[in-house]
Amino acid sequence: MERSMTAQALRDNSTMGYMVAKKRLEINPDHPTVETLRQKAEADKNDKAVTDLVGLLFETALLPSGISLEGPQTHSHRIYRTIKPGLGIGEDEVSAEEPSAAVPAEIPPLEGDEDASRMEEGA
């Protein structure tokens, strides 16, 4: 219901507060995952991997509850950054998807260039 109400073009924002259900996140502090993340966060507060893992854990907890993510692109980038170390891919390595890796330094001439120039002369 909440999704359909927010998707309407002519919605009344003043009544949206009544329509939106209160959301609750419950964390089990004794769970081994939460305990390990807490220890790693206390050891290094600036660890990007821990920050990504906490964000992934939170966003993944939202999905089965039916709550849509506000930034699915951010979620997917976190997943990619989490997968790369497991595969042994460094952050500084260029992926095949980036245009700089796909374009060679010098583009070779096309094989049919001679025919194209003759056609232009004949016209």
pLDDT in tens, 59-87: 888 888 878 888 889 889 989 988 888 88
Does 39 map to a domain? Answer: yes
Does 65 map to a domain? Answer: yes
CATH code of 72's domain? 1.20.120.790
**pTM confidence score:** 0.56
Structural domain boundaries, residue 66: 27-91
Is residue 40 classed as helix, strand or coil in its secondary structure? Answer: helix
Could you give the number of structural domains in the chain? 1
Phi and psi at residue 46, to the nearest 5°: -100, 15
Does 123 map to a domain? Answer: no
Please give the structure tokens belonging to residue 116: 């194209």
Task: Tell which residue, 23, 65, 18, 57, has the closest CA to residue 40.
Answer: 57
Does 115 map to a domain? Answer: no
What is the percent of the chain with per-residue pLDDT over 90, rounded to a whole number? 19
Does 109 map to a domain? Answer: no
